[in-house]
């Protein structure tokens, strides 16, 4: 096939972005370099040209076609994203991304390292707002309501749209406190604001909630006899399920996951995958994964981003994997590049 980028996705993803949302990561740019050339060129050349004219490094002149991204689904869209562009300084990380994400399902985001998957995910709860130098243009609506407008309560937004990161990041507190922390802080359940105003705390209600979230995160059986233990003593897979429990504790509608299993062994990974499938009955799950088998196993629909920050193909997961419409996507999926 045509020339490929010299790096391999699988070689590098495990160490990527330990906790990206608060840091600026000056190193990132250098490690991502092989994939970045087109972005740099296109930004230099002309920002205003049609995004579809930019193709990826080392690939043929395939032009992205609108119909490769058309995906008809039953049910309601949870997210409607239109013409989303993200710049980090002069770097054009996402180009004109438009996509609708159905509720109560699993949407996988795949693509080579540096193609903007994490950036896209962070747009869905305005986490990029925290990154210095990041500029977001375009529209993201949740249940029809624009989140990129003045007056949006970001705390409330991130409660509705929770996030689980690649490396489990529990607080250095007890298992119980990790799960109870959010509701207490947000003050919207029995144990929260009202209790504090009344000067008492309803421990029974708190404990019920902790149990419910740990059960939903498939962790209860393993930790119910040691809820006071420090969460950092749990295994990696348990810590990740604890982070999912913590995310569930504030009653979100959406769970964003950025490579949530890539630091885990195969058994812990399988548990997380089972859990994701269960969660999608009640929640909208959007997951970034570099593991294509994982995407194929757990997702209902798959969005493929390629270098340059373009959404190239989007559709039913079986269709994307078995009969991709884009040649570049086919090359990526069959391992010819990336
Ligand atoms: N915090 C940041 N500051 C500057 N550039 C960033 C930052 N995060 C990501 N980028 C750049 O944006 C592009 C997309 O990155 P990212 O969204 O992390 O891709 P992926 O998750 O697909 O690997 C890359 O070129 C990367 O270097
Ligand atoms: Mg990423």
Ligand 2 centre to CA of 39 (Å) is 16
Mean pLDDT of 99-114: 97
To the nearest 10 degrees (0 to 180), the angle between helices 236-248 and 203-216 is 120
**What share of the chain has pLDDT > 70, as a percent?**
77
Check whether 239 has a pLDDT greater than 70: yes
Q: Check residue 85 and give its pLDDT.
A: 97
| Closest ligand, as measured to the CA of 109 | 1
153 by Cβ neighbours in 10 Å (0-12 / 13-18 / 19+) ranks as exposed
Q: d(Cα 227, Cα 225) in Å, to the nearest integer?
A: 6
- What is residue 193's predicted lDDT score, i.e. its pLDDT? 55
Per-residue pLDDT tens for 306-319?
A: 988 999 999 999 99
Closest atom of ligand 1 to CA, residue 23 = 1
Give yes or no for residue 24 CB within 6 A of ligand 1.
Answer: yes
In which residue ranges of the chain is CATH 3.40.50.300 found?
A: 9-170+251-333
Nearest to 101 by CA among 303, 247, 323: 303
The pLDDT score that the predictor gives to residue 194 is 54
- Give the pLDDT band of residue 206 (cuts 50, 70, 90): confident
Does the structure show a pLDDT above 50 at 184? yes
Distance CA 55, CA 337 (A): 14
Specify the pLDDT at position 187: 57
Which strands make up the sheet holding 284-288, listed edge to edge? 161-164, 254-258, 284-288, 106-110, 301-306, 310-316
Ligand 1 contacts CB of residue 119 (under 6 A):
yes
What is the full DSSP assignment across 161-191? Answer: EEEE-SS----SSBHHHHHHHHHHHHT-STT
pLDDT tens per residue across span 22-76: 333 333 333 333 333 333 333 333 434 444 444 444 445 788 888 899 999 988 9
Of 107 and 8, the structure prediction assigns the larger pLDDT to: 107
Tell me how far apart the alpha carbons of residues 121 and 111 are, in angstroms, rounded to a whole number: 13
- Please say if the pLDDT value at position 243 is more than 70: yes
Give the per-residue pLDDT at 200.
58
**For the chain, what is the mean pLDDT?**
83
Are the C-beta atoms of 42 and 54 separated by less than 8 Å? yes
| Angle (nearest 5°) at CA 82 between 283 and 280 | 10
Predicted confidence band at 15 (pLDDT cuts at 50, 70, 90)? very low
Q: Please say whether the structural domain 9-170+251-333 has been given the CATH code 3.40.640.10.
A: no
pTM: 0.81
Instruction: Give the number of whichever ligand sits closest to the CA of residue 21.
Output: 1
Q: Please name which of 225, 216, 265, 203 lies closest in space to residue 243, comparing C-alpha atoms.
A: 216
């Amino acid at each position: 096939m045509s020339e490929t980028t010299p790096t391999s996705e699988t070689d590098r993803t495990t160490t990527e972005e330990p906790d990206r949302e608060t840091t600026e990561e000056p190193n990132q740019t250098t490690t991502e370099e092989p994939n970045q050339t087109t972005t740099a060129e296109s930004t230099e050349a002309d920002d205003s040209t049609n995004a579809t004219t930019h193709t990826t490094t080392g690939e043929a002149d395939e032009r992205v076609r609108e119909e490769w991204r058309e995906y008809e689904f039953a049910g309601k869209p949870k997210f409607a994203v239109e013409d989303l562009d993200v710049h980090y300084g002069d770097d054009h990380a996402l180009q004109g991304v438009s996509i609708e994400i159905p509720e109560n399902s699993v949407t996988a985001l795949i693509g080579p390292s540096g193609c903007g998957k994490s950036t896209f995910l962070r747009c869905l709860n305005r986490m990029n707002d925290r990154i210095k130098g990041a500029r977001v243009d375009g529209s993201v609506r949740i249940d029809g309501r624009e989140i990129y407008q003045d007056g949006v309560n970001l705390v409330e937004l991130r409660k509705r749209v929770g996030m689980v990161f690649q490396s489990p990041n529990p607080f250095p507190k007890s298992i119980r406190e990790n799960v109870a922390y959010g509701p207490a802080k947000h003050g919207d359940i029995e144990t929260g604001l009202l209790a504090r105003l009344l000067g008492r705390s309803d421990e029974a209600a708190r404990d019920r909630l902790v149990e419910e979230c740990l059960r939903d995160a498939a962790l209860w059986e393993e930790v119910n006899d040691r809820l006071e233990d420090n969460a950092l003593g749990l295994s990696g897979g348990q810590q990740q399920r604890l982070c999912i429990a913590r995310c569930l504790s504030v009653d979100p509608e959406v769970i964003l996951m950025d490579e949530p299993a890539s630091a885990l062994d195969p058994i812990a990974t399988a548990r997380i995958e089972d859990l994701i499938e269960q969660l999608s009955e009640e929640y909208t799950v959007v997951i970034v994964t570099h593991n294509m088998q994982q995407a194929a196993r757990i997702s209902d629909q798959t969005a493929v981003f390629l270098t340059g920050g373009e959404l190239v193909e989007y559709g039913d997961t079986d269709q994307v994997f078995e009969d991709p419409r884009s040649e570049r996507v086919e090359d990526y999926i069959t391992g010819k590049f990336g």
